[in-house]
Amino acid sequence: MDRGSFHRDFPGTTVLLLTNAAFYLLEMIYHWKGGGIGFLQSAVEIPADVVVSLGANSLRHLERGEVWRLISYAFLHGMIVHVLLNGWMVYVLGRACEPLLGTARFIVVYIASAIAAGLASAAYAGYRGEPWSPSVGASGALFGLFGLLLAFSIRHRERGLRNSLLESIIYTVIFTVFIPRVDHAAHAGGLVAGAVFGFFTPRPVTSRNARRWRIPFQVTAAATLVALAIAIWRRARAPLGG
């Protein structure tokens, strides 16, 4: 790959990375303005009220009809380590999945996995009796990409890829067990949703297959833009500290 051509070779991955970075910057700005702290200090950890006002997901919000949060939450993160780790995984998995799927299907799978992860998270929070518990982060969508690659490797008998993915998933689960506030329900929901797509993913990407995903991609892109626009609009109308 020629130097400087990443955005041309992986346009969907580039957009996801930039959107995650832009929303974390927005979180920092609202934390900085409302928290009375230095701008760089605001990057370390984002308060719950800021992420909720910008579109964090929760069962209670969904029950109130704020379904746009099933998309917006996936572009929000609670701390600098969170966004950096997820950004790295978007970069790694995007390079593997976007050429395999084509950009249109890649974005559809990513957002669909985020929605499934958000629903699973909200359902489990309700089961625990914590309907207001907020959920943020791209990891549900990323587990969707893990699930897609795993199902693809099983369907097409890619033993090396399958074993590598199983190891990665196991290590990730073990690692996150020791981190507080990790949303394992979202990870499971995203993994299952991605696996469904993976079982129906053919080996070669053809122009005919790509055309079939044009309309789903347009619907997904429009829904994502609307969800993020609502999140920004509602936050802009809220008090600085709220």
Q: Which residues pair with 79 in a beta bridge?
A: 45
Q: Which of 139, 153, 164, 168 is catalytic?
A: 139
**Cα separations in angstroms, 101 against 5, 35, 48, 203, 227:** 19, 43, 35, 9, 24
**CATH superfamily of the domain spanning 11-236:** Rhomboid-like (1.20.1540.10)
SS3 149: helix
E-only strand ranges, 155-233:
none
pLDDT digits (tens, 9 = 90+) for 125-156: 999 999 999 999 999 999 999 999 999 888 87
Measure the CA angle with vertex 22, ends 122 and 33; round to 5°: 90
Phi, psi values for residue 79, rounded to 5° = -160, 165
Q: Where are the domains of the chain?
A: 11-236
Long-range own/partner contacts, residues 59-67 (CB < 8 A, 24 or more apart): 59/122, 59/123, 59/125, 59/126, 59/131, 59/132, 59/133, 60/131, 60/132, 62/122, 63/131
pLDDT digits (tens, 9 = 90+) for 50-74: 999 999 999 999 999 999 999 999 9
Would you call 5 a catalytic residue per the annotation? no
Q: Which of 61, 77, 82, 187 is catalytic?
A: 187
Would you call 207 a catalytic residue per the annotation? no
pTM: 0.91
Q: What residues have CB less than 8 Å from 84, skipping those under 6 apart?
A: none
